[in-house]
Chain A
Amino acid sequence: MTPLLAVKNLAVRAKMHGHEFDLVEDVAFSLQRGEILGLVGESGSGKSVTCRALLRLLPGANLSITSGEILFDGRDFAKMTETQIRNERGASVGMIFQNPASHLDPVMSIGDQVAESIVLHRGVSKAEAWSQTVDLLRQVGIPDPERRARNFAHEFSGGMKQRAMIAAALACDPQLLIADEPTTALDVTVQAQILRLLMDLRDKRGLSIILVTHDLGVVAQACDSIAVMYGGRIVERGPKRDVLKAPFHPYTSRLIACQPAHGLGAGLLPSIPGQPPSAGDMPSGCRFHPRCDLAQTSCRETVPGLKERVSGHLAACPITEAGITEARP
């Protein structure tokens, strides 16, 4: 089956004070229809930059995509003109963000913001767009949608704002939803509700979702597959069950050990010693080697590429070729 989205060799470069450096390098993954992919990694690992690059909406004029293909349903977003990619935004791919409060226009009603993109992409009348909007708000679980559509963002709770963002992103029935840490800013109970809504939408609409999170619990609950990012690169990816059960990359294995379910309980969580690298000051070779207990001299020299270990499960670590437990002394 051809995937809905196939990203190949994606790189995003930043220019700052005369320096140039890659924020994201050699990123490759694919996504089937109806699949939920969890994109995980510590903050600063390049998850948001990757997501924004997919829609060519980079967070800064100093950033640019320097290489790669973003094949969506056979069309390469990376090669499109500005007008072409704009027509894909919202219509083919929707996006929601970590902080729904700041991503909604404070002075336009929720309903108008949803209806706006329906009118734009579908060219229907305002009245028709409004009735579709009310319908959509109901579908994402906003009670009393006729009245709530006329409310403004500040009249919504955090969870309701994120539901409204989802409605606006799905207004034109895109096949892919990019959700950049959609639950991080919300209460735990609300987090679970939003997650359930996303899974529901996948089941009902066959929506594919890229779900960015740094919570492996979320991945375990909602995702089909997982891609782990570190220092602007994907260091491991594969089916969720395989990666969580038998990780090949020392970073993934550390990350799993730091999760509450596997650790000693909140408060006593082990954390990975050392700091994640910052863009523009990347260590040579494997980005993780300064913090890796398995690092060898060769790790400092060459950047390891992703290699398939088990069918569909890839990792970028030559040391654990034979399995991670075997590599531990």
Chain B
Amino acid sequence: MNLHRYRFILARPLQLLPVLFGISIITFVLVRLIPGDPARVLLGAKSTPEAVARIRAQFGLDEPIWLQYVYFVKNLVLGDMGKSILYKMPVLQLIGERLAPTLLLILGSVILALALAIPLASIAATRRGRLADHTIRLISTAGLGFPPFWLAIMLIIVFSVKFDLFPVAGYGDTWGDRLHHLALPCFTVALALSAVITRNLRASMIAELASDHATAARARGLSERRVFWRHVLPNAVIPAINLLAVNIGWLIGGTVVIESVFSIPGMGQLLVRGIFTRDYMVVQSVAMVFACATVIVNFLADVLTVAIDPRVEL
């Protein structure tokens, strides 16, 4: 094992800092550009100016905006994300409660998508031009075409309402219950994701099956099966890793839609509520978590690529 090829891991946290700095400024400014005042939203239209002023002072909203930013960053560094105006509790605790459903949703979707994409792409590539290939290509093209929220509603109507197989919405109390609740949302996301991955994998598998090194392997007496598993698949997954990482990045933002449709108490839902109630600290913090998650996913993709492809130097 060539450990020096993994040197880049040490440099990544440093590269992360400017990204987080940029994201923090952008969200800090954007969230304050939304018209409306958090205190007024919280207290309602009939609130007295005194009450509004008291809330504003309590949450530091009466300070100059640059000072608010300095406090935000200072507290963030110290591990304090501030307090939610709406929930009246530390944002960190709030995020702690909301993280698991979202992580589970994303992880489940990705696993399900890969469990669909790898076999489907393999079948399509090895039976190129035959019925199985045409069917799989048709399905994956269709999978790309459906808007996810429409697909979600269709799945709810069929599997939850008509056949009563899955809960319509929500999140469970026990782990089994939670998986049961997340099955349909995961499947919704996985369908679209697996369509993208299947198409990409199929194309690279076809190229690898026709590659010179596959021919050389056949000339050494390897069966088609062995050529596929040992030489075609490892080479074909390399480009798919990055594609998957980019799509998980999209997915992290996309949980906003899915969690709303299926009423999952996750980070996406927290973000949406935060925006509607002008809950500044919540919106800023969730945005930071999403940014970190995206960076981490890309980082993991890089590590995986370096592990599989000996030619890559980062």
A-side residues, CB < 8 A to B, are 55, 57, 59, 86-91, 94-95, 97, 99, 102-109, 113, 116-117, 120-121, 152, 154-155, 165, 168-169, 171-172
Contact = CB atoms under 8 A, between A and B. Distances in A.
Given A116-B220, A171-B220, A107 B215 contact: no
A90 B222 CA distance: 9
Given A106-B311, A107-B309, A152-B311, A57 B218 contact: yes
Contact of B220 (A102, A108, A109, A117): A117
A152 B215 contact: no
A304 B135 CA distance: 51
Given A57-B215, A103-B216, A105-B213, A87 B308 contact: no
Given A105-B231, A106-B213, A107-B238, A154 B220 contact: no
B22 interface: no
Given A97-B212, A99-B212, A120-B226, A105 B217 contact: yes
B234 interface: yes
B221 A89 contact: yes
Contacts of A108: 230-231, 234
The number of chain B residues touching the other chain, given as a range, is 20 to 34
B311 A103 contact: no
Nearest to B234: A107
Nearest to B226: A120
B213 A94 contact: no
Contact of B213 (A91, A104, A109, A120): A104
Contact of B216 (A59, A86, A154, A165): A165
A171 B217 CA distance: 12
A246 B194 CA distance: 66
A99 B213 CA distance: 10
B223 interface: yes
Given A102-B211, A105-B235, A108-B230, A154 B219 contact: no
Task: Name the residue among B216, B234, B309, B310 with the largest chain A CB count within 10 angstroms.
Answer: B216
Contacts of A57: 215, 218-219
Interface string B144-184: 00000000000000000000000000000000000000000
A121 B311 CA distance: 29
A90 B311 contact: no
Interface of B: 211-213, 215-223, 226, 230-231, 234-235, 238, 308-311
B5 to A, nearest CB: 11
B220 A103 contact: no
25 contacts: A55-B219, A57-B219, A59-B215, A87-B221, A91-B221, A95-B216, A95-B219, A103-B212, A105-B217, A106-B309, A107-B308, A107-B310, A107-B311, A108-B231, A109-B310, A113-B217, A116-B220, A116-B222, A117-B220, A120-B221, A120-B222, A120-B226, A155-B310, A169-B220, A172-B221
A108 B227 CA distance: 12
A177 to B, nearest CB: 11
Nearest to A55: B219
A168 B220 contact: yes
Task: Name the residue among B215, B219, B308, B311 with the largest chain A CB count within 10 angstroms.
Answer: B219
B310 A121 contact: no
A254 to B, nearest CB: 32
Nearest to B217: A105
Given A99-B212, A154-B311, A89 B219 contact: yes
Contact of A107 (B216, B226, B235): B235
A95 B219 CA distance: 6
B242 to A, nearest CB: 15
Contacts of B310: 106-107, 109, 152, 154-155
A169 B222 CA distance: 12
A142 B235 CA distance: 26
A152 B306 CA distance: 13
B212 to A, nearest CB: 4
Contacts of B234: 105, 107-108
A126 to B, nearest CB: 14
A113 B230 CA distance: 10
B56 to A, nearest CB: 59
A104 B219 contact: no
Contact of B221 (A99, A104, A117): A117
A75 B37 CA distance: 89
Nearest to A60: B210
